[in-house]
Structure 1
Amino acid sequence: MRLLTHNVMRNNTAAASAGSSLRITATEVRVDESTTDDDAEGQRREVEFAKHTLPILDWERLVEGARAMGLETLPPAVSPELANDAGFLRALYGVLMNVRLINGMLTCSETGREFPVTDGIVNFMLEENECE
């Protein structure tokens, strides 16, 4: 599961209000190498992707998720200068797309409901009483 995916996930069970956020407990993380290091067009696409994705990210959730997966490099907030810095945007792309939770747990911050992650796949199967 990529950090980008985690950023938009919510607990939508009947017990949670308005889609509560999910806290990561990682037992196995994988960081993939970028495939566009020497490709100028690929680097441009990474920068553009990150630049267009930045406004819709829940930055606080991204920072928390990255820290839970052992990454301490994200700044606590994004300044306008950083939002236009190609180096920062490429690094952000790497965090969003190349850092993967392989095994661990996602825990609802509101209800404490746990969702296991196995081989990068989250098990969101609900019990009948959890459905609306």
Structure 2
Amino acid sequence: MLFHVVNKLQVPLFSFGATDPTLSSLQYPYFLRTTINDHFQMYAIADLVQYFGWREVVAIFVDNDYGRNGISILDDALTKNRAKISYKAAFALGPSISDINILLVEVNLMELRVFLIATDWLPSLLDPSATNSPE
């Protein structure tokens, strides 16, 4: 794992996307997170769900440790706000466009209409222009 190499070499690692709250600066003293962790992000999403009065959502996420940890935190946050994840739609990392289409059609056929996409690569894959920033 990269974090162990960084610790051994005693060089800083700046992360612009590592949001997993289990990545601790106590365990990895040379790891510098430049974004807030999933705990804060998922509780903020749960607050938005509560603000709009939604009680059930579909969570779409990457089926890896980071995605599952984020969804677990979101589940806890929603429960505190008396809401819930009614369906968890997990993508394998690096799915084909066909796999994505099949899963999105499947969740679209459900009665629920609130979809939470807890991944950063899926929106950019579906709409690549959304991640292009002006120079």
Name the TM-score class by shorter chain.
under 0.3
TM-score (norm 1): 0.27
TM-score (norm 2): 0.27
1 or 2 for the larger relative contact order (CA 8 Å, sep ≥6)?
A: 1
Normalized per residue, which structure has more helix? 2
